[in-house]
Amino acid sequence: MRKTTFWKELISFIILLIAVLLLREYVVNYLLEKDIDSYQHHTFVGIGANLILIVLSLFYIKKNRLLEIAGLKGKRVYRIKYLIFPLVYLTLLNGLFLDEIDTNKLYSNMILLILYVISIGFAEELSIRGFIQSWSIKFFGTTKKNVVLSIIVSSLFFGILHLFKFDKGIYGELSQVFFATFIGVMFGVILVITKRLYPIIIIHAIIDFVAKLDSAGIPIEKTITDPMSIANSVIVVLLVLPCLIYGLILIKKHKLIQ
């Protein structure tokens, strides 16, 4: 593959991805300026942006013949046991940080919440692991060193993307960068080992479902009313650190050759 082709496809995809995220934030801010803060309106905006990212990611994956590397081709899931830790640990971890849940609002918005988290799982995994990581592996090569490099770079990018919303204060946002990066490394390694992306998409959706249970039906706030403290941010990073360690253990244990 030509170097120019690699960078052309990667940069164009990243520009379009960022454009979609910026458009999403613009619409969200516009709605808030018009005093439209309903959970339903803002969730539909999120779903719409995710659907665009899903279509965009699938287009780039198919265009560049990445279906196999991206784990979208075939039915067998290799070493399925490695999916147990992220599912159990992250579900429990997100459950620890839940605020009080308004059950009436939750039940009335359950379907919308489910659709939203499914769209998040597909959008984030197809774009980051499905295209960026897979495209990098195809270009840099399938040696263990290069596969690990591709996983780390795509995971760092995944972490940085979490700065777009900026609704948790400076320390909260930095903790989210570490949170997403560590999880990204773990998911990236698991994709290479299991060779299937769909199970990771499902796990991602389940994790987000649990994390968003307490916000279902709650109106969106215009400003950051409760920014995360530095102490809580450090705690969040330490709690998600096992995900990075788990990913590193899998890297050491397996050859990671696609």
The string of pLDDT tens digits covering residues 201-226 is 999 999 999 999 999 999 988 766 56
Q: Tell me the average pLDDT of the chain.
A: 92
In a domain, 152, yes or no: yes
Identify the pLDDT of residue 169: 64
Q: Which residues constitute the domain of residue 207? A: 3-253
Q: How confident is the model at residue 86 (pLDDT cuts 50, 70, 90)?
A: very high
Predicted confidence at residue 30, as pLDDT, reads 94
Record the tokens describing residue 170, joined without a space.
């400076």
Specify whether the CB–CB gap between 37 and 221 falls below 8 A. Answer: yes
Minimal CA–CA distance to 94: which of 204, 177, 198? 204
Burial class, 238, CB count within 10 angstroms (exposed 0-12 / middle 13-18 / buried 19+) = exposed
What is residue 225's predicted lDDT score, i.e. its pLDDT?
Answer: 55
Whole-number pLDDT of residue 176: 87
Asked if the model's pLDDT at residue 171 lies above 60, the reply is yes
Cα separation, 133 vs 200, in Å, equals 14
High-pLDDT (> 70) share of the chain, %: 95
pLDDT over threshold 70, residue 165: no
Q: Identify the burial level of 191 via C-beta atoms within 10 angstroms of its C-beta, where 0-12 means exposed, 13-18 middle and 19 or more buried.
A: buried
What percentage of residues in the chain have a pLDDT greater than 90? 77
pLDDT score of 34 more than 70: yes
Average pLDDT over residues 102-122: 95
pLDDT value at residue 162: 80
Instruction: With respect to residue 258, please indicate whether it lies within any of the assigned structural domains.
Output: no
Instruction: Label residue 76 by pLDDT band (50, 70, 90).
Output: confident
Q: pLDDT tens-digit profile of 130-154?
A: 999 999 999 999 899 999 999 999 9
- Classify residue 173: in a domain, yes or no: yes
Distance CA 133, CA 60 (A): 12
pLDDT-derived band of residue 3, with 50, 70 and 90 as boundaries? confident
- What the block records as the tokens of 190 is 């698991």
Would you state the pLDDT for residue 257? 63
pLDDT band at residue 245 under the 50/70/90 scheme: very high
Question: In a 10 Å sphere around its CB, with 0-12 CB exposed, 13-18 middle and 19+ buried, how is residue 9 labelled?
Answer: middle
Round to whole Å and give the CA distance between 143 and 247: 17
Which pLDDT belongs to residue 167? 62
The b-or-e profile of 59-76 (16+ CB within 10 A means b, else e) is ebbeebebbebbbbeeee
The answer to whether residue 166 scores a pLDDT higher than 60 is: no
Our count of domains for the chain comes to 1
Per-residue confidence at 241, pLDDT binned at 50, 70, 90?
very high
Tell whether 170 is covered by a domain: yes
